[in-house]
Amino acid sequence: MEKRNIISGIKQYRSEVDTNFHMPGHKGKPEILGELEKNLNFFDITETLGTDNLHYPTGFLKDAMNYISKVYGSKKSYMVVNGTSCGIISSIMACTNPGDKILVQRDCHKSVYNACILGDLKLFYLYPDFNKKYGLNFSISLDKLDQMLTDNPDIKLVVLTYPTFYGICFDVKKAAEIVHKHGKILMIDEAHGSHLQFCKELLPPPAENSGADIVTQSTHKTMPCLTQGSILHICSDRVNINNIETMLRMLQTTSPSYILMASIENAVHWMAEHGEERLKRNIEVFKKRTLELRNMGINVLEDDFLISEGLYDFDATRAVISMSELGITGTELQDILRYKYKIQMEFADLQYTVGYVTATDEPEDIDRLFDAVKEIYIEESKSKEKRGIVQIEAFPKLQHERKMRKAFYAENMLLNMDDSIGKTAAEFIIPYPPGIPLVCPGEIIVQDTIDYVKIMLENGINVNGVNKNNQVRVVKWKEDL
């Protein structure tokens, strides 16, 4: 009998990892999934007499979404089974027409750019402020947001990310006031913030209660939900609900998984019952251990400290750890945690390794991570020569003519990375995770970006859009643009 490759591969992974700080938020703990865990086949049904229809709900699916809306305080909420990418693309296309202009945060997820290609939209960028001390993109400037909308009054929609993959947050309420002052719609990609609703005392305020018009969330990232489970919230009358529902029907599968939908509702119920208590407990342990490591000289990001440094807010459930001052890259730290301590983080870049602490974690899980980091630091301090933090801005301001769709569909060719400088990109170049494009179709590739990509590849970071021969796709004929 031939090996079942996927099942065997997952079993192999599970045998190599004892503790994980990556999505999905249930962390593989079966008791969290309740009845679903006991008999998946029993709950795997379809649209038939006695069930319901996600695209035209009238029964228990409608009741489930009404419950979710009540918990989150939205005008209307939708379960999305194609992931938050589907919610993002549906929302953007529901609020725009081909040729419209939209303003996006430059470090947004690739699904935002995919929506612009599908919808033939013209992009304007709002770049986050880069903090050289930490080597991180910090918050967007709300003054720049206001100025961009003043200078470009025909922008139709504003799309911002809150919190970022690193837990960075801006003042959503003030951003909403600015966007609405200009008569525009504000959409927030809150893929990493579905848990904020359940511990308002210790976490940044939820975007859905802070003035955003549309909020998309990856329930599976930070809550006990199966992968792909997502929620889309409509929070104001500025949004055409009929357009939203039309796009969801067009872009979602016509065979939605009842297991996945049950998992979404179950996650919201579980968090409503246990989320606040367990998040408070875990945040308390996490902050205590963070301060312990910071006092040793280890760079672990912490909300109170970052706020004192000028950041508006920070998600206290995000583990963002660096030992770059010891000469250890984020990927090296991630590898040490994985192969020596059997702890798997979510992702790593050149400087940081990043993980999620969720309500399903136990204090022992958090202690295990911090004990390992402490031990690594003590050991590596003896053997590594200290060096300064690598200073590379992830998002050089590339030249582009806002012709993303034309570049995407233009005839293209492969070039070695060094030969691509000055050419127009035909495909995305994206470190994954987290899935934030360094280069988008239609942008001019520059030396700084190629240098950055080479450093990432040398350090074991996966970069989509660069093949095994270190080639990228560029537009063949400039006339195609």
The two three-digit tokens of residue 23, written as one number: 């999505």
Tally of CB atoms within 10 A around 244: 21
pLDDT digits (tens, 9 = 90+) for 265-289: 999 999 999 999 999 999 999 999 9
Which tokens hold the place of 138?
A: 């910090």
- Domain 276-383 part of CATH 3.90.1150.10: yes
Distance CA 314, CA 308 (A): 11
| pLDDT value, residue 93 | 98
Question: Comparing 276-383 with 404-480, is the CATH topology the same?
Answer: no
pLDDT at 385: 60
The tokens describing 170, both together, are: 């801006």
Q: Give the DSSP H or E segment for 130.
A: strand 130-131
Identify the DSSP state of 425: B
Q: Which of 471, 452, 138, 96 is nearest to 301 (CA)?
A: 138
pLDDT reading at 398 higher than 80: no
470 Ramachandran zone, left/alpha/beta (phi>0; psi -120 to 50): left
Per-domain residue ranges for the chain?
33-268, 276-383, 404-480
Q: Measure the CA–CA gap between 330 and 461, rounded to whole angstroms.
A: 10
CATH architecture type of domain 33-268: 3-Layer(aba) Sandwich (3.40)
Region 143-151: what's the mean pLDDT?
Answer: 98
- Highest average pLDDT, of 235-244, 296-305, 450-459, comes from 235-244
Residue 478's contacts (CB-CB under 8 Å, 6 or more residues apart) are: 424
Q: H helices within 120-235, ranges in order?
A: 142-151, 172-181, 219-222
Strand spans (E) along 140-256: 155-161, 168-169, 185-189, 214-217, 230-234
| Partners of 322 in the β-ladder | 299, 352
When pLDDT is averaged across residues 169-192 and rounded to a whole number, the result is 98
Confidence at 394, pLDDT banded by 50, 70, 90: low
Third-level CATH fold of 404-480? Molybdopterin biosynthesis moea protein, domain 2 (3.90.105)
Tens digit of each residue's pLDDT (9 = 90 or more) over 240-268: 999 999 999 999 999 999 999 999 999 99
Helix, strand, coil distribution of the chain in percent, nearest 5: 45, 20, 40
Enumerate residues 6+ apart whose C-beta is below 8 A from 62: 52
**b/e map 377-401, b = 16+ CB within 10 Å:** beebeeeeeeeeeeebebbbebebe
Cβ distance 278 to 284 under 8 Å?
Answer: no
DSSP helix/strand/coil, 347: strand
Residue at token pair 């409509």: 234
Q: Would the CA dihedral through 250, 253, 255, 256 be positive or negative?
A: negative
* Mean confidence (pLDDT) of the chain: 93
**Average of per-residue pLDDT across 207-223:** 98
Instruction: Express each pLDDT in 339-366 by its tens digit.
Output: 999 999 999 998 999 999 999 999 999 9
Predicted TM-score (pTM) of this structure: 0.94
Question: Above 70 in pLDDT, residue 70?
Answer: yes
- Grouping H, G, I as helix, E, B as strand and the rest as coil, residue 360 is coil
Q: Are 160 and 175 in contact (CB under 8 A)?
A: yes
